[in-house]
Structure 1
């Protein structure tokens, strides 16, 4: 029995982010040299400096995995001067540009008992079904030609892929049974069966369908190279999570459908009905593209996850099937305020007339809701050292001073830290500092002050690189892709690991049980709650990062 089924897989070789920033994309010209091999026409392309598998496949309007299948040597890497075969493809949404008439070279077919269209090396995430769909043949045909017993395949196995119809002739010549693979028919449920499925999710025996919608660079219309590159890295992290789930849940039967929203827009994917039959939809990744798909998902009773974009949480007000992974600012600040002690002296500091007035109001509300008494201090940085006496008047020496700075301005925060450092070093005040996530990205602030004042920050994402799970993920990512995982890679792993495991655990009762589901992730903590009791789901989970005087840091999860 197959454990993991992936219908549409794109695999990319990409440059590290630093390289993409350093070099402009290299133009790839369509070759005028064409040959025909066993009835299939190929361009012969000579690889030029800095061209990549991704850029070449995009220029010729084919997927990278087709390039690798036709040129197995590419598994060892792409080198300048290599000559590779690229099949001519005409059935994509964006047809290949016409080239001037050229002389074609006919290569005679090799004598063989069966005509073979390709030799395919099995990857760890593939199944016999996904390979058959890729080449337009049946599982039975591949099994016959390769003498597979029970339809079983294994990683790195080399399979001969016949042309459609060739396997029957081969079977007759070799007296091979015509039914070596047991076919499983999946029936599209009608409304009555859908209701029955809701009442008894266990009856599906762990068989589920998830759809992933991400921009993969299939055309120039939907996203930039930078955005598509980010989501190649997202997809790579997603695949590692799939493999881990297959190992964790023995017998899981998960069908993953992957849609390139650069090739076909997200709204068109929904309108065409391609997402029907999904038990879960992950994506689109941009909030501006979500609502058409979300509307379809709502009408068809399918949960939809917004996996990346921090905006778009307002959609949860209208769609009860919507999961927004990004944690709203109110919940980030709520988690931070929950770590403030009610026995200390609390001072709220903010910039007078600054741009963070809404954030200041949120912080005030959180303090009020928590029943905490506090003092306030607001000033402009033009006040300079003149503000020091007013600052000191709000501090106490007999207790810890908990200073909450509601500002994202690096200049203002620098001034606050300077004043606090003076009072701490000269007068011996005990200070515990609370800041915002943006402080981690300041360039001109002395980080030593974060440690000396025991800074706490509430974060949506934080990777603890000393974690065994994180170390394992990084090692596997390097091994598989010869690159370093990015924040997108970590995010994809967390999204796939959490939601697909929850889908397997709860089936179509996922929405009823997601609030109590807990799972250890790499860079996030997911704590989903319904907005206003009956609307969509928002994530209240955060990690509170604490800077210690010994220059260490640690985190704690919050938000449940």
Structure 2
């Protein structure tokens, strides 16, 4: 899922100037060539004495690497940046996100360019408009690209991919966690794991690492929770060969009395709460907290819990809470710190989550293109990034899907990666 924390500042006016300037002078990332300096002869120089020694041949210039053409389609809304125009708050937020993603992506291309690769990056404004996305799908420059990244939002992706059903080149959905079946395009590359893969990741960890005899699913009664619980139950049943019992109940006003006879006083009791409704969570988690004083409790929650301020880390830690995530950055790693220094030096600001996502994805695809990767083969390479890792599966009719999620646990009032 795509979740953004608020501990880093939003894009400033200075960043907009840098961004617009980068669009003008830095959209293409050719291999840098240094022109030879000329020498001016002065009166004091001695004349050159000719000899019979044959002149040395000039060094043969190495051929420049082929320029790989990429098209980046982002909701910049640049018509609102024109004189006399203004952004709405929502429009400015989307434009900031687009600019930040672009900056991270461009920095990645520059780093691979320094190793000898050559790229031409074309940037297009989708304006977060379905009609504009539809029109961009017909643009000859975009259609001729080796790789298309964007649009960003599901409606725009759907309009864009509908016009390119048989294109033999990858179309990357960079940020949306929407299920790829929404688009039904065989060339789509879904970078953000959809919700079902979070459920499958949690179920796999429970079966293989915790090995319980029972798992209790506490529902609120809303049908949208089936998007999580259905793939979760299927995965538990499949991996355990139905040896782990999955017990589903609908909780009313936090009443868990019906479960008491089925709980173990000595072994961990595994609970899954798939809800994102504040009122239900506040009551149900308090009941689980009371229950945990007599019975060992291990709780698994929805990946969106990470951004809910009303869920206090002290309570989640007492419940031994785990969540799945694709957004965990290790700020102590050398890889992260190298990126941070480079980003700050280039853009004079702190990177946001979107900038880090852009860098990871730019680095991944730039390396594939530089290595002349065949995008028609069923498997794409695995990759460990700063923000998330990529492990793709290819499904008929819907393209490649990144299925990698991390398992995080609340520990010392923070989320720590356990797998």
Measured against the shorter chain, the TM-score band is: 0.7 to 0.9
Secondary structure of the 1:439 match is: helix
Give yes or no for the alignment of 1:379 onto 2:244.
no
Give yes or no for the alignment of 1:497 onto 2:363.
yes
In structure 2, the partner of 1:278 is 145
- Preserved contact between residue 323 and residue 538 of structure 1 (Cα < 8 Å): yes
Residue 388 to residue 276, structure 1, CA distance change in 2 (3 Å): closer
How far off its partner does 1:265 sit? Answer: 3.4
How far off its partner does 1:390 sit? Answer: 2.4
- Preserved contact between residue 326 and residue 539 of structure 1 (Cα < 8 Å): yes
How far off its partner does 1:233 sit? Answer: 0.9
In structure 2, the partner of 1:512 is 377
In structure 1, the partner of 2:282 is 414
Aligned-partner Cα distance in 2 for 1:413–1:465: 30
In structure 1, the partner of 2:301 is 435
Match of 1:367 among 236, 253, 259: 236
Give yes or no for the alignment of 1:555 onto 2:417.
yes
How far off its partner does 1:541 sit? Answer: 1.3
Aligned-partner Cα distance in 1 for 2:67–2:11: 41
1:117-266 residue pairs with structure 2 within 5 A? 127=30, 148-149=35-36, 207-220=67-80, 224-247=91-114, 250-262=115-127, 265-266=132-133
In structure 2, the partner of 1:333 is 199
**Structure 2, gaps ≥5 residues long:** 1-7, 39-59
- Preserved contact between residue 388 and residue 419 of structure 1 (Cα < 8 Å): yes
Aligned-partner Cα distance in 2 for 1:477–1:539: 26
- Preserved contact between residue 344 and residue 402 of structure 1 (Cα < 8 Å): no
Higher relative contact order (CA 8 A, sep 6+): 2
In structure 2, the partner of 1:525 is 389
Q: Which moved more, 1:482-491 or 1:252-261?
A: 252-261
Aligned-partner Cα distance in 2 for 1:484–1:460: 20
- Preserved contact between residue 432 and residue 454 of structure 1 (Cα < 8 Å): yes
Secondary structure of the 1:219 match is: helix
Give yes or no for the alignment of 1:342 onto 2:204.
no
How far off its partner does 1:423 sit? Answer: 2.4
Aligned-partner Cα distance in 2 for 1:346–1:495: 36
Aligned-partner Cα distance in 2 for 1:423–1:270: 55
Residue 408 to residue 394, structure 1, CA distance change in 2 (3 Å): farther
How far off its partner does 1:332 sit? Answer: 0.9
Secondary structure of the 1:408 match is: coil
Secondary structure of the 1:374 match is: strand
Residue 379 to residue 274, structure 1, CA distance change in 2 (3 Å): same
Give yes or no for the alignment of 1:478 onto 2:344.
yes
How far off its partner does 1:391 sit? Answer: 3.6
Residue 289 to residue 473, structure 1, CA distance change in 2 (3 Å): same
Aligned-partner Cα distance in 2 for 1:404–1:212: 39
In structure 2, the partner of 1:301 is 168
Aligned-partner Cα distance in 2 for 1:434–1:312: 22
Match of 1:544 among 407, 410, 417: 407
Corresponding pairs, count: 377
Aligned-partner Cα distance in 1 for 2:385–2:15: 32
- Preserved contact between residue 344 and residue 399 of structure 1 (Cα < 8 Å): no
Residue 53 to residue 17, structure 1, CA distance change in 2 (3 Å): closer
- Preserved contact between residue 322 and residue 409 of structure 2 (Cα < 8 Å): yes
TM-score by length of 2: 0.77
Secondary structure of the 1:393 match is: helix
Aligned-partner Cα distance in 2 for 1:537–1:288: 19
Aligned-partner Cα distance in 2 for 1:246–1:301: 25
**Structure 1, gaps ≥5 residues long:** 1-15, 21-50, 70-122, 130-138, 152-180, 186-204
1:9-28 residue pairs with structure 2 within 5 A? 17=9
How far off its partner does 1:388 sit? Answer: 4.4
1:97-136 residue pairs with structure 2 within 5 A? 127=30
Give yes or no for the alignment of 1:401 onto 2:358.
no
Residue 150 to residue 212, structure 1, CA distance change in 2 (3 Å): farther
- Preserved contact between residue 410 and residue 439 of structure 1 (Cα < 8 Å): no
Aligned-partner Cα distance in 2 for 1:362–1:336: 10
Secondary structure of the 1:275 match is: helix
Aligned-partner Cα distance in 2 for 1:350–1:300: 42
Q: What do residues 291-324 of structure 1 show as CA deviations (whole Å, max 9, x unaligned)? A: 454356554422111111223622553x211111
- Preserved contact between residue 210 and residue 279 of structure 1 (Cα < 8 Å): yes
| Largest Rg, 1 or 2 | 1
- Preserved contact between residue 30 and residue 67 of structure 2 (Cα < 8 Å): no
Residue 214 to residue 150, structure 1, CA distance change in 2 (3 Å): farther
Secondary structure of the 2:383 match is: coil
TM-score by length of 1: 0.59
- Preserved contact between residue 379 and residue 394 of structure 2 (Cα < 8 Å): no
